[in-house]
Amino acid sequence: MSDLLTLARWIKESRYTVALTGAGMSTESGLPDFRSPSGWWHNIDPRTVASVEALEADYPLFHQFYSARIRALADSKPHRGLLQGVATQNVDGFHQQANQQRVHELHGSIRKVRCHSCERQADVESFLTGQACPACAGRLRPGVVLFGETLPEGAWSQALTDLRSAELTVVVGTSLQVYPVAQLPSMTPGRVVMLNLERTEQDERFDLVLSGKAGELLQQLNS
Ligand code: BV8
């Protein structure tokens, strides 16, 4: 039986299926991932733009990087998956746009902006136009989890709850290089299937590894 048919059978058998997704889930929607040759930081250390240190030491570079990320959203739209509950590292909001229920945003959202100093919410346009916080003149920033910051507690505990009760977890489009999310596939008692373009260091652990484009494979499973 082909691997795709095996996965289709496992999905049918599973009473609780969860997906753990990464940037590869959005490349077919038009957004680059991070670590592929055309990714946002193929040739750079992400900590130089996506960390608290970067925000504090070189705000113009930080601002330029995240403005480009926010602008890229306008040219992209989600493709539909077949998944029931999703723990995602993605900050693009595409799972919700595709009407997915129970989405746990483990790395926050780039569609929300807040002040880095007083945490007051601001609108995305204020960030894009380079304004300071209207309340305290602090630096505005997107609501993503930068390197060195902790993950949102609610999203993390809900993702853990889902994974611990999952009979099947499908890991989609992630290099699994960023912690603590990279540990999640080992925290579920159920079957774990990896669906990715490239091999990852954790491939040996999975019950099944499917190589290919997420959008195409999920489409085939849907049909
Ligand atoms: C923290 C900002 C506690 C947001 C991002 C343990 C060991 C070692 C290091 C650490 C550790 N624990 C913590 C760390 C440090 C650090 C870390 O993980 N470092 C790594 C790099 C070594 N982690 C942290 O700092 C985390 N915080 O642990 O807090 C703490 C705090 C202080 C002090 C002590 C403890 C915070 C992590 C925050 C990460 N934020 N960026 C943004 O700008 O978006 S990371 C960035 O990577 C994105 O957020 C993204 O979501 C994430 C994961 O990337 P992927 O989604 O996997 O993307 P990637 O490009 O890598 O892979 C895509 C894959 O898809 C590829 O394999 C490709 O082949 C495939 N693909 C492409 N197209 C398709 C496809 N597959 C299928 N179909 C396709 N069409």
- Tell me whether residue 84 is annotated as binding: no
Which pLDDT score is estimated for 1? Answer: 55
- Across the chain, mean pLDDT equals 92
213 lines ligand 1 (CB under 6 A): yes
Q: In this predicted model, what pLDDT tens digit does every residue of 158-212 receive, in sequence order?
A: 999 999 989 999 999 999 999 999 999 999 999 999 999 999 999 999 999 999 9
Q: Examine the residue annotation and report whether 116 is marked as an active-site residue of this protein.
A: no
CATH architecture of 1-30+78-107+151-223: 3-Layer(aba) Sandwich (3.40)
pLDDT at residue 81, as a whole number:
53
Domain spans in the chain, listed from the N-terminal domain onward: 1-30+78-107+151-223, 32-75+112-144
Q: How far is the CA of 150 from the centre of ligand 1 (A)?
A: 13
Q: What ipTM score was computed for the predicted complex, to two decimals? A: 0.93
Whether 45 contacts 35, CB under 8 Å: no
SS3 label, residue 192:
strand
Q: Give per-residue pLDDT as tens, 116-133.
A: 999 999 999 999 999 999
Determine the distance separating the centroid of ligand 1 and the alpha carbon of 79, expressed in angstroms: 22
Backbone φ and ψ for 158, nearest 5 degrees, come out as -70, -40
Residue 118, annotated ligand binder?
yes
Instruction: Tell whether domain 32-75+112-144 is in CATH 3.40.50.460.
Output: no
Distance 113 CA to ligand 1 centre (A): 20
Whether 198 has a binding-site annotation, put simply, is: no
Token pair of 15 as six digits? 């009473």
